[in-house]
Amino acid sequence: MEFQLTDEQKQLREEVRKFAEEEIRPVATEYDVEEEYPYEVMDKAADMGLLAPHVPVEYGGVGYSSVENAILTEELFAADPGIGLCVSSAGFGAEALMEFGTDEQKERVLPEVTAGDAVMGSAISEPQAGSDVTSVATRAEKDGDEWVINGSKMWITNGTVADYFVVVCETDPEIDDRYSGYSQILVEGDRDGLTRDKITGKLGIRASDTAELRFDDVRVPDENLIGQRGMGFLQLMQFFDETRTAVAAQGVGIARGAAERALEYAEEREQFDRPISDFQAIKHKLAEMHTNTEAARWLTYRSAWAVDNESGDLTALASMAKEFASRTAVEVANEAVQVHGGAGYVNDHDVERLYRDAKITQIYEGTTEIQKNIIARELLDEGV
């Protein structure tokens, strides 16, 4: 496959990089330390058209492709993963509305999100249901023309700040098929019975809001059902290739940010009357860091291209990209701290934060172990 960025995509990269350098990097440490949601940055991101840019133009988005979203995500995460996630996650769950939602649902929710007037959240994980989505126990029961929801959700991005949630619920427990009987339901954040508790003390991405949600007889109208009843799990599976590619782009951004900062520091820091970049040990670290970052980038772009072109090898590629790029992020951030020495162990330098932030890319949207299982399954069962 011959692949290169178009002039428009290169321009997008430069514009987002400028925004990230001017609006995100200067305040990143502050929001990380305070574990606060960056409302001011989000307003500026909305003005730039960076919130849910994959949403079609008719609903206020830009209609970016997966490749363009990967470019955007890399730039945001190279500046700061915590705030970068806030920007890139503003439309979490929008895919479900775009693909399966009614016209009324799309017209009501999507323009608010793209304009920066609302934030979305995707509520899937539960205390006992992480990698195994079919263990979801949150129940939605039909009562007349309403759904009554009971249960809890854990580790929900945008949990205390979101105005809308796409909630995965069990709606038909009597169905024996393991992958049926689940539905996605749109729940407004101000519904009675919905309690949201912010989770603090996270290792990384501290600017990003994470919460536990509890549903106690939360009532929503029947028209909030997204798509066909009982098909929620199968609907959800259609987006994992896309979202895992996005996490791969996050990993590339973290790795690039760490590698660039390590290079800058190595050229400035002197020991034994010369820059530490003169020493072969440091040179080799820098070479490996930048090489692996570049490899992760092109694997991620290949996966993003496969998303846009509905390539038959997409599932394997998405898991390969996610697994490799997240591992690269962790390894490169680790080496960046090592290059900085003691200075890298405190938050005077960004690499300390990048090191903590990198780990989450190996956990959410399917752990590293899950990605390896998927890759092996595709190789063995389908000959990819």
* Model pLDDT for residues 20-38, shown as the tens digit of each residue: 999 999 999 999 999 999 9
What integer pLDDT is reported at residue 384 of this predicted model? 41
Q: Specify the 3-state DSSP secondary structure of 120.
A: strand
93 pLDDT tier (thresholds 50, 70, 90): very high
Which residue intervals of the chain bear CATH 1.10.540.10?
7-95+103-115
The model's pTM is 0.95
Give CA separation, 99 vs 62, 157, 235, in Å: 16, 21, 9
**Predicted local distance difference test score (pLDDT) of residue 177:** 83
Indicate the CATH number of 7-95+103-115 among 1.10.10.10, 3.40.50.300, 1.10.3210.10, 1.10.540.10. 1.10.540.10
pLDDT of residue 165: 98
> Do 157 and 85 form a contact (C-beta atoms < 8 A)?
yes
d(CA 48, CA 299): 28
Query: How many CA atoms lie less than 13 Å away from 313 in the CB half-sphere?
Result: 12
Catalytic-role residue among 75, 112, 242, 365 = 365
- 365 assigned to active site: yes
The size of the chain, in residues, is 384
- Name the burial class of residue 331, with classes exposed (0-12), middle (13-18) and buried (19+) by CB atoms within 10 angstroms of its CB: middle
Give the separation between CA 78 and CA 259, rounded to whole angstroms.
Answer: 10
User: Is the pLDDT score of 2 beyond 60?
Assistant: no
Residue with tokens 């990819």: 384
In CATH, what number does 233-380 get? 1.20.140.10
Q: What is the three-class DSSP state of 143?
A: strand
Q: What confidence score (pLDDT) does residue 179 get?
A: 85
d(Cα 14, Cα 154) in Å, to the nearest integer?
A: 36
CATH superfamily, with its number, for domain 120-230 = Butyryl-CoA Dehydrogenase, subunit A, domain 2 (2.40.110.10)
pLDDT score of 167 more than 50: yes
126 phi and psi angles, rounded to 5 deg: -135, 170
The stretches of the chain forming alpha helices (DSSP H) are 7-19, 28-34, 39-47, 66-79, 81-88, 94-100, 103-114, 232-237, 240-268, 280-309, 314-340, 350-358, 368-382
Domain with CATH 1.20.140.10 in the chain: 233-380
- pLDDT computed for residue 383 by the predictor: 47
Q: How far is CA 4 from CA 10, 190, 223, 297, 320, in A?
A: 10, 45, 44, 12, 21
Residue type, 291: T
Question: In which residue ranges of the chain is CATH 2.40.110.10 found?
Answer: 120-230
Place 378 in a pLDDT band, splitting at 50, 70 and 90: very high
